[in-house]
Amino acid sequence: MSNTNRLQDIPLSILDLCPIVEGGTAADTFRDSLDLAQHAEKWGYRRYWVAEHHNMPGIASSATSVVIGYLAAGTSTLQIGAGGIMLPNHAPLVIAEQFGTLESMFPGRIDLGLGRAPGSDPTTARALRRDFMSGGEEFPELLHELRSYLNPSAMEAHLQVRAIPGEGLSIPIWLLGSSDFSAQLAGQLGLPFAFASHFSPDYTLPALAQYRRSFKPSAYLQEPYAMVGLNVIVADTDEKAAWLSTSLEQSFLNLIRGRPSLLQPPVKGMDDLWNEQEKYIVHKQLKSTIAGSPATVQEKLQAFLDDTQADELMVASHIYDHQDRLRSYELLMGLQNR
């Protein structure tokens, strides 16, 4: 584990959920995402990831590899990747070919983050042409198959089917997790690990400890490397940041009600929108969220780094207005120069 835990020294990256805002379209989302990626590259962010979601009206990144290609084509140095691909939804050969194609087009700039949860209801899983009863238990086998397509010799694989393009390419593979299953697997395989603290805060420290405890050096990584995903919203004042955060709270409120929706404008207060039980559930799920002025965010982020000893932070800023979202990421990067 790296001894670096000062905010000024930690690489910062972006997780873009590609939200479709109320009154907007997927086309608007993609234009805004490219604009944010171009700004992120200029500001000095390390990487920019998008995530696979299906059957969700408010998220546009279902064709994740296509979105990655679009963002990579519009930037020049930023690492672009998946955070992540839900491997149980796909044949490993298809993912090897897709990311082999991306790596061939944008050499040295593509990351492949993999999740074990299908992330879909049975009806959506069936529509994706996979076993709709899958719960992710076969993830280690799917991962081994995928890695064999990319590097048959290292995996001692003798395949009758080859991934072209893909075979022989050096594509960084990350395991993603919201519990300790992938943490332990990433450690055993000597792979980098990214934890979803932005929606699973209670498991953050146990999963990171499991990863570091399980870690075995590999040809890919000699020491554990943990990136932590975190909701961060920065504005010029604490009050404005709290107001902007109500869009995120509304999104999670709709999720627990089973009604995914478009990203909604911020509101003056949430009390008229939720009951006490819903408020408790949303706050519990979002309790690691950091929102405030630059000074407030700097203090809370440093405390988070002290607790987690994260090697990198991947920030999600679920903000309704694109200019406010740009401003949040600009202010966040400015903290490294304070």
Give percent above pLDDT 90 in the chain.
Answer: 85
Write the CA distances from 265 to 11, 14, 118, 191, integer angstroms. Answer: 30, 21, 29, 39
Predicted local distance difference test score (pLDDT) of residue 218: 96
Pair of tokens at residue 66: 């296509």
What digits encode the pLDDT tens for the residues 132-151? 545 567 899 999 999 999 99
Cβ atoms 64, 51 nearer than 8 A: yes
Least confident of 85-99, 113-127, 169-183, 282-296: 113-127
Q: What are the pLDDT digits (tens) for 54-84? A: 988 999 999 999 999 999 999 999 999 999 9
Quick one: pLDDT at residue 39?
Answer: 98
Per-residue pLDDT of 234-255, as tens digits, reads: 999 999 999 999 999 999 999 9
Contact assessment for residue 264 and residue 22, using Cβ atoms and an 8 Å cutoff = yes
* Nearest partner of 45 among 24, 16, 25, judged by Cα: 16
**pLDDT score recorded for residue 120:** 65
Give the alpha-carbon dihedral of 77, 186, 169, 73, to 10 degrees: -30
**What is the structure's pLDDT at 134?**
55
CATH superfamily name and code, 7-337:
Luciferase-like domain (3.20.20.30)
The domain spans of the chain are 7-337
Query: Per residue in 46-55, pLDDT tens?
Result: 999 999 999 8
pLDDT-based confidence at 1, cuts 50/70/90? very low
> Whole-number mean pLDDT of the chain?
93
Structure-block tokens of residue 61: 């990144």
Count the neighbouring beta carbons within 10 Å of the beta carbon of residue 7: 20
Res 156 pLDDT > 50: yes
CA angle 93, 96, 101 (to 5 degrees): 125
With 60 as the cut, is the pLDDT of residue 2 above it? no
Least confident of 15-19, 126-130, 306-310: 126-130
